[in-house]
Structure 1
Amino acid sequence: MVFGLQSQFLAQEKDKAISKSIYFTANLGQESHSKANQILKAIVNASQSDSNAAFVGLGNSTRSKGYPESKSERKAEEAFLVTNVLEPLSGFNGEIIFIPGKYEWNKGGHKNIDDLESFLQDNSDAKFWPNDGCPIERETLSDEVELVMVDTQWYLEDWDDHPYINNDCEIKTREQFFLQFKDELKDEQNKTIVVALHHPVLTATRKGLIGRMGGLSKQAYYHNDMQYLVGRLETLASQFQDVIFVSGSDKNLQFLKDDGILQIISGASGKTSKSNPNEDDGHFGSDQTGFAKLNVFKDGSSEVEIYTVNGSDVTKAFTTKIKLKKGELEDFDYHQKSDFGSTYKDAIYTKEEVNKSGFYKWFWGDHYREIYGREIEAPVLFLDSLPNNVRAITEGGGNQSRSLRLIDDNENEYTIRELRKSALRFLQSKIKDHYVIDYADDTVVEDIVQDYYTTAQPYAQFAINELLDAIDIPHANPKIVYVPKQKRLGRFNESYGDKLYMFEEHVGDENKEFDTFGNADDIISTKDMLLELQNDKDVKIDEASYLRARLFDILIGDWDRHADQWRWALHEKEDGTLLYKPIPRDRDQAFPKYDGVFPAILKLTSPLARNMQTYAPEVDNIKTFNNAVYYLDKSFINEASWEDWKTQAENIQNNLTDEVIDNAFANLLADTKDESTEHIKSVLKQRRENMVSIAKDYYDYFKKHEIVVATNKDNKITIERMPDGKTKVLITQKDKIILENTYNKDETKELWIYALDGDDEITVKGKGNSYIHTKIFGGEENDIYNIENSKAVKIYDYRSKKNTFNGSVSKWLTDSYDVNNYNPQKRKDANNVLLPTIGFDPDAGFKTGATNTLTTYSLLRNPFTTKHTLNAAYYAATSGFEFSYVGEFAHVFYNWNLELDTRVTSDKYAINFFGIGNETPYDGDTDDLDFNRTRISQWHIQPSLVYKTGGNVSAHVAARVESNQVDDGQNGFVQAFLNPDNNVFDNQIYAGAEVGIEFNNKSGMISLPTRGLQLGFVAGYKQTIDSDFNNKFTYLTPTASFIYPIHESGLATLATKVQADFRFGDNYEFYHAATVGGNNSLRGFRNERFMGKTAFFQMTDLRVCFLEQRTGFVPLRIGVTGGFDLGRVWNDNEDSDKWHNSYGGSVFINGFQAFTANIGYYKSVEDSRIIFTAGFRF
């Protein structure tokens, strides 16, 4: 059989040249070692026929306990690895690579993974990646193949269990990991990219009942955390071509594809599991043991081969060819230079796109729309007219712009960026966990975003170069050009060309010697700049240059200055100082105009939109304007005083004279100048005159909260309290001053000091008055704290490591990753959102009101620091009012938040009362709705401790005081049923307590939930404070609900909710009774229809999406539900066997997989009800 394999491989090589052959398997640590040995033997034998092969072990190469710490267990594991993994692979004809899986993370986590890496490398030629327990690594396998290795278990781990998890990693957050993954794909987009990861992004493996509903463990494919991880990876990969995922956690063999994503699963090396692939779509699955092989050819195409292994019998069970997605030049049409003159007229938008009605302009805004539709005469650029053989090499990966990177024979690089921004790219950047570009194409949503881009003046940015020259800020030199489709664009002709572009030098290390970039020694990214500051004592930022550049951003109204908008030019000094100067780039948002009603509404309801401020002589809100770049300012402006800020503001005022501004705009292309550029010039001059006061506004806000960061080496940090509310901070490393600055309490209210890695010595000394509140973070390694003055000081450090404290001080020792680790983007912040509320309920009538939510973010978050929600509502049917406040405060105990829930109603607020019993009479055709409405005035105060971890389990412990008073002056059922002297008409005040716990893995309830499980219970006790009433009772409410996908896609689901409600004790009023009826139980009955001592109900829906439609509005899913409810109540003195039921259904429309409108009709023997909901209630 091996001879047969070799013959096939040789024949294949004759047909096509193979660039790389890669073998995959996983789960070698399973107990069935003989099967694994057979597979490894087959792989080794097959590799003898390969000229360029690699083996990749996809995780779980150790046994289930991983690589243990104890000597005896580790020795046994090493013997297993040598005997069952390394020796069988010793004859493999190629390189051997292992990546970690779940097993490798057991018993010690990243530290033991690092030790395992050393063992494998010391005892074989094998490589273990990613290094140091980090999440991602990239390796070049050939000129045509790049291997990107991802440790998915790193993402899934609870980092509080591994507080030093990222000690040796540049990536410190999960979001940084996703950004790095995208960068790896972008950097290698001209190759076939093989992504090796333990857990698959696609799988057809059969799941059990619980697994299909989301599972209990993060290892479950449908667990929320896993779904977010694979959703992000799949979405990022969808934006590039020729990406193949290969995984091994599933114990079978599979080949799958979905919307261009390719997935190979090769984990069948022992005990296997079954799968259900769709063979009609070219998918494959097998539960036999075996391995997968991927051949990547030199032309870029690939071939997948899957082999089953049974003893010495090796059989090719499946093969498929993967066509290269990147087209060749002959696939595309392109122009000749003779087809064009030296210039060409074109517009950014079509006339149809900019011709809008008066109402449209009033609501959405007029912006700079007209100039986008105006044709301008621009120079024509054919790349072969440029010196040194300039040609296109890669596509840019921006979130808004479409661009190409160009290179010449001197390896200098340039960029062309389309002036028409991409609404689809913007939408995809905001919807991170599923791919939307194809679905949003040619929809109203795309049109709205595309139109919103007209808020930026597209041509005024080309006047900025001369302004920057006047204040000595380095920059690229963008020019407007028209780029026809042409041969030098190569395979990019399909998507690029025949449009207006910006052409400029690329700001990167390959162009570091360009004069326009200051003849630098190197040019690095912001990400690398932040790392340099932490790792090298000789690194310094040219703060004056950065401050001047930032004030210039404010001058021109450019709020979008995120990390990728900056590069950093290194200038090595004779004294060894590594001085970095900023190079700002990309001026897409300069001089914006956000007129119209919609932008105002957007800023009112979305804090993220409040940095979008119309260009005017003054800055509307200096805080929100700088939101996107604030964390960079905190990282790079550390020592500048107000005098330094004022100096740079005056520098701008003195050097950007009227003449400089006029000349800069005069040099714009003739067709790009109009009344808008004249207006911008006028505002620019006015704002220039205000720059000192604008700078002072930002300085005052900026200084309130200071963040000081040391280095990852051994530092000495001295914090000296001084008179007049001053605090001096001195950071040194080997007698070299890293930072020296004095902070004044008049300006700074709080100071965070991060010592970072290294054995640091931190001293707090001196005396003064009015101290700045100072938080000190020791970071990794063992630190010494010398505390001579502990006032207004708090220390945060790891509980699990040894530190020395000389002197008493307030401290919190915790292994919380979030608390201890420095994250540049963590800041003190607050935002407020005011939203109107509207609703309808057949019993309460129309509901109108408003909800105001104030959320703050500081050091301790779970997931925020505080959240204050104030709600007011008016019910038209009863003229009743309701007011509520819920405040939540994070980490009063670790992972326990304090919640304060309060509510008060007016005396016209109403609930329903039909009497006590399971068969109380009511005739929906004749009885007036008001007759059973019972006016009741209520208030309550409930403080509670709420357990939150960001996972699926939550709990609470609460105390409660409440008041209830039924109105005795109404003419309704309650007066007819109860004696006027009944205590229910008195104001009764209760005290009580409550506990609850819940498991809930449901998500997307406001959208279209496809699976989920919820289990929980609440138990409590209430008693009247006034002994005259003697009302007291215990209650218990268990709940279970699930959403089960009948079809794996989730387009057909069965949803059920079951709930019981028990009252123990006989002394309670009707408003505390167990009830059924209404939207959340028996949907065909009125609210609180039946009351008793015990209640039970179940609700069941069958939900089916019958139409998925790409409409001109948004991508829609349209479906129907059929619902059936069953329930009843029990009372001690009632003999009833009756069960109540209601039935009905709804039609729902889901847009963009984000929001669902659901309108239903439900009927019972008594009544029928129309119910509107956003999403689904269970």
Structure 2
Amino acid sequence: MPPLRLRTSFSLAGVLAAFLLSTGCVRRQFFQPDARPDASQPLPLAADSVRGATAGRQYARHGGLYNALVGRHHRPTWAAPVSAPVLRLGTVLPGGLSPGKVGGGFNSTSLNMAATDGRSYVVRTVDKDPIRATPQVLRGTFLVNVLRDNISSTNPYAGLTVPVLADAVGVPHANPRLFYVRADDPAFQTDSLVHFRGQLAYLEEKAAPLLPSPAAVINSTKAFAAVFANPAQRIDQPALLRARLLDGWMGDWDRHPGQWSWALSRPGRDGHIALTALPKDRDMVFYRLDDGVLGWLIGHLFLRHWVTFAPRYKNPSGLMSSGHYVDQRGLNALNRAQFQATARAMQQQLPDSLIDRALHRLPPAAFALEGPRLSAALQTRRDKLPALTDDFYRLLAKRPRIAGTAQSERFFIQRYADSTVVTMQPVSAAATAAPLYRRAFLPAETRRIDLEALAGDDVVIIENHAPRGGKPKLRIYGGAGQDELRAPGGHSGIRFIQESASAKRAYDKPPEE
């Protein structure tokens, strides 16, 4: 989860929640001491598994009034007894795993691992501590209790269902495996690993297995820098669209740039390198927040992107909003027909039987609590996926952004009464060469097109075949380099600015991970 879009958002809801959660200070003993409720009885050294473990039974210690006011969320699932194998680093994989650096985002604690075959793995806690998402000055206050309790809005085992669903629609994924970490495991005795001891954790390979194997896997900062630098490096837009529609269908709203890695293909015969999106961190799948008075206030009035998973798509624009940076740059070549074709194909790829198989990867006690409800909701959401897709498309089509690279490009803009066609090619390419970019924009969908030439000596050619005052409007930013605009006679609704777009809005602004 990104750090604080919380800073100005909790106000009234935070104050009310604080009254319920605390007398004003952070609770020192918030988390369960051990996933095993009977942890006072030593676990035999030869034990291969544990039974009756809980992901976080502290979330279920409240009564009916509290749940009605704050929200029941997934509290029973956090307290449900589950079985899990004991994690043994020496034997969990052939050759074992060697511990590395401690890491983690703003919620999870993770431990990087190296296998003998060179592959990288990570162990991360199932339970979270969002104290790192809280400003230092507030870390001793009630706000920490509010954020910690809100982890109960997430389903601790949702990530186990994702591989089956992602496989079906061709989206890369991790393969998390649930384990119990012994409190006395010698590999977890340093102070930095205290949060692992006696808790449930996931083990997964850091890079999703891909065939063919990629040339490299990089983060979003490096991926978009590569796209901005050279037109030969392009995002695989159809693959990203499948991933984003899967996000929306599963209710995974937390898809900011830090939640993605990118696989670089090996150069093709034409020299092009495709960047394929690799989703990470499925913590917000099946998120449930608004089933209490305060949860409803937070999700509907303050943090509208914290969207509750339900049979109908609640607040589609908020659901998809965290991925706007990625979507705006990674889906700008696809038209409405391509969006809808992808949604219809996914409907066929996600039958009821597959949904049932995915949900049965939940631990049995968790499935008993949530399985039937989740199955019904996923089926309804699948049937309504084209409607979500259309909302998503219209949001992006309203004001698209198109850009060149640090190289020199030629932009050819043809304005007709019923459309505006934008084509991009390298300046050095023949007029008959396949374009790097081509898309027709319709005035009923698009109000304004922002085009950024970025660096290089670029040429923008505008050809008008419509009456003056055509739509959509055009804003063209030349950026660095000696750019040339060819627009015989000038055209209404077109504005050319030789400078770059403002740093805050620039197409090549680095992503915030």
Same fold (TM over 0.5): yes
Q: Which residue of 1 aligns with 2:305?
A: 611
The offset of 1:824, in angstroms, is 6.8
Corresponding position of 2:333: 639
What secondary structure sits across from 1:626 in the alignment? helix
The alpha-carbon deviation at position 357 of structure 1 amounts to 2.3
Which residue does the alignment assign to 2:474?
774
Tell me if structure 2 keeps the 8 A contact 1:730–1:739: yes
Please state how far the C-alpha of 1:611 moved relative to its aligned partner.
1.5
Conserved 8 A contact 2:417-2:465:
yes
2: CA distance, partners of 1:416 / 1:623: 33
Q: Is the 8 A contact 1:754 1:822 kept in 2?
A: no
For 1:679, the aligned partner's letter is: R
- CA shift, 1:436, in A, is 5.0
**Change in 2 beyond 3 A, CA 1:449/1:410:** same
Q: Distance in 2 between matches of 1:545 and 1:382?
A: 36
**Contact 1:395–1:404 (Cα < 8 Å) also in 2:** yes
Distance 1:500 1:701, change over 3 A: same
How big is the shift at 1:571? 2.0
Match of residue 366 from structure 1: 72
The match for 1:759 among 457, 460, 469 is 457
TM-superposed CA distance for 1:337, in Å, is: 7.8
Q: 2: CA distance between counterparts of 1:780 and 1:447?
A: 49
Q: How far is 1:684 from its partner?
A: 0.1
Residue number among 497, 500, 522 corresponding to 2:216 in the alignment: 522
Aligned counterparts of 2:505 and 2:256: Cα–Cα separation in 1: 24
- Which residue pairs with 2:130 in the alignment? 423
Partner Cα distance (2:474, 2:296) in 1: 38
> What does the per-residue CA deviation read over 1:764-813, in whole Å, with 9 as the maximum and x for residues that have no partner?
22221432111111111221122223210112233xxxxxxxxxxxxxxx
Cross-structure match for 1:412? 119
CA offsets 1:71-107 (integer angstroms, 9 cap, x no match): xxxxxxxxxxxxxxxxxxxxxxxxxxxxxxxxxxxxx
Q: Contact 1:777/1:820 (CA < 8 Å) preserved in 2? A: no
Asked if the contact 2:454/2:478 (under 8 Å) is kept, the reply is yes
Q: Secondary structure at the residue paired with 1:391?
A: strand
Per-residue CA deviation, residues 667-716 of structure 1 (Å, 9 max, x unaligned), is 33323322322101110011101111221122122211110011111111
Q: For 1:70-219, list aligned pairs within 5 A.
A: none
| Aligned partner of 1:794 among 478, 481, 495 | 495
Q: Distance in 2 between matches of 1:410 and 1:758?
A: 43
Letter in 2 for 1:505: E
Post-superposition Cα deviations, 1:634-675, rounded to whole Å, max 9, x if no partner, equal: 110121111111111111110111111111122333233223
User: SS where residue 413 of structure 2 aligns?
Assistant: strand
Measure, in 1, the Cα distance between the counterparts of 2:130 and 2:378: 29
> Are residue 745 (structure 1) and residue 443 (structure 2) matched?
yes
Task: Show CA shifts across 1:1013-1051 (max 9, x none).
Answer: xxxxxxxxxxxxxxxxxxxxxxxxxxxxxxxxxxxxxxx
**What SS does the aligned partner of 1:407 have?**
strand
Q: 1:591 aligns with which of 286, 304, 316?
A: 286
Q: Report what 1:958 is aligned to.
A: none
The Cα of 1:476 is off from its aligned counterpart by: 1.1
Distance 1:407 1:825, change over 3 A: closer
Q: Which amino acid aligns with 1:588?
A: D
Paired with 1:403 and 1:819, the residues of 2 have a C-alpha distance of: 33
- 8 Å Cα contact 1:539-1:577 kept in structure 2: yes
The answer (yes or no) to whether the contact 1:475–1:516 under 8 Å persists in 2 is no
Are 2:181 and 1:459 equivalent residues in the alignment? no
CA distance in 2, matches of 1:815, 1:465: 40
Q: Report the counterpart of residue 57 of structure 2 in structure 1.
A: 350
| CA distance 1:558–1:819, shift in 2 (3 Å) | closer
What is the rounded CA distance, in whole Å, between the counterparts of 1:759 and 1:600 in structure 2?
A: 52
Aligned residues: 461
Q: Secondary structure at the match of 1:467?
A: helix
Name structure 1 gaps, 5 residues minimum: 1-175, 180-334, 508-513, 799-813, 827-1178
In the alignment, is the contact (CA less than 8 A) between 1:391 and 1:488 conserved in 2? no
Selected match of 2:402 from 708, 726, 730: 708
Identity score, percent: 24
Deviations 1:985-1020 (A, max 9, x none): xxxxxxxxxxxxxxxxxxxxxxxxxxxxxxxxxxxx
Of residues 823, 837, 847, the one that matches 2:509 is: 823
Distance change >3 Å, CA 371–CA 815, structure 1 → 2: closer
Tell me the equivalent position of 2:199: 499
Tell me the secondary structure at the aligned position of residue 643 of structure 1.
helix
Counting only pairs closer than 5 Å after superposition, residues 278-357 of structure 1 correspond to structure 2 as 338=45, 340-351=47-58, 353-357=59-63
Partner residue in 2 for 1:729? 422
Work out the CA distance in 2 between the residues paired with 1:694 and 1:522.
33
Q: 1:786 to 1:689 in 2, by over 3 A?
A: same
1-structure distance, mates of 2:377, 2:437? 39
Deviations 1:897-922 (A, max 9, x none): xxxxxxxxxxxxxxxxxxxxxxxxxx
Residues 553 and 705 of structure 1: is their aligned pair in 2 closer, same or farther, counting only changes over 3 Å?
A: same
Q: Which amino acid aligns with 1:359?
A: L
State the distance in 2 between where 1:777 and 1:523 align: 32
Q: 1:399 aligns with which of 106, 109, 124?
A: 106
- Map 1:873-952 onto structure 2 (within 5 A): none
SS for the counterpart of 2:440 is strand
Following superposition, the deviation at residue 489 of structure 1 comes to 3.7
Residue type matched to 2:180 in 1? Y
Q: What is the CA–CA distance in structure 2 between the aligned matches of 1:411 and 1:819, rounded to whole Å?
A: 40
Query: CA separation in 1, counterparts of 2:278 and 2:69?
Result: 38
Amino acid at match of 1:382: R
Q: For each residue in 1:270-293, what CA deviation from the matched residue of structure 2 results, as whole angstroms up to 9, or x when unmatched?
A: xxxxxxxxxxxxxxxxxxxxxxxx
Contact 1:392 1:490 in 2 (8 A): no
Q: Residue type matched to 2:165 in 1?
A: L
Higher relative contact order (CA 8 A, sep 6+): 2
Aligned residue among 556, 562, 573 for 2:256: 562
Aligned partners of 1:617 and 1:690 also within 8 Å: no
Following superposition, the deviation at residue 451 of structure 1 comes to 1.6
Distance 1:825 1:519, change over 3 A: closer
Tell me the distance in 2 between the aligned counterparts of 1:544 and 1:521. 20
Residues 583 and 385 (structure 1 numbering): CA distance in 2 closer, same or farther, change over 3 Å?
same
Task: Give the direction of change, closer, same or farther, for the CA distance of 1:590–1:494 in structure 2 (3 Å limit).
Answer: closer
Q: Which amino acid aligns with 2:293?
A: V
Alignment of 1:979-994 (within 5 A): none
* Max Rg structure: 1
Counterpart code for 2:421: K
CA displacement 1:246-277 (0-9 Å, x = unmatched) = xxxxxxxxxxxxxxxxxxxxxxxxxxxxxxxx
Instruction: Assess if the C-alpha contact under 8 Å between 2:87 and 2:181 holds in 1.
Output: yes
CA distance in 2 between counterparts of 1:710 and 1:490 reads 52
Distance 1:671 1:502 in 2: 18
Instruction: Tell me which protein shows more helix as a share of its residues.
Output: 2
Structure 2 CA distance, aligned partners of 1:499 and 1:532?
40
- CA distance in 2: counterparts of 1:408 and 1:597, whole angstroms: 47
Q: Which amino acid aligns with 1:394?
A: K
Write the letter of the residue equivalent to 2:412: T
Q: 1:797 to 1:825 in 2, by over 3 A?
A: farther
Q: Which residue of structure 1 lines up, in the alignment, with residue 187 of structure 2?
A: 488
Q: Does 1:445 align with 2:143?
A: yes
> Is 1:382 aligned with 2:88?
yes
Structure 1 pair 553–819 and aligned structure 2 pair: CA distance change class (3 A): closer
2:343 paired with 1:649: yes
Q: Which residue of 2 aligns with 1:80?
A: none
Change in Cα spacing, 1:385 to 1:435, as seen in structure 2 (3 Å) is: farther
Distance 1:490 1:530 in 2: 39
Measured after TM superposition, the shift of residue 398 of structure 1 is: 0.2
Relative distance call for 1:480 and 1:792 in structure 2 (3 A) is same
Letter of the 2:65 partner, please give it: F
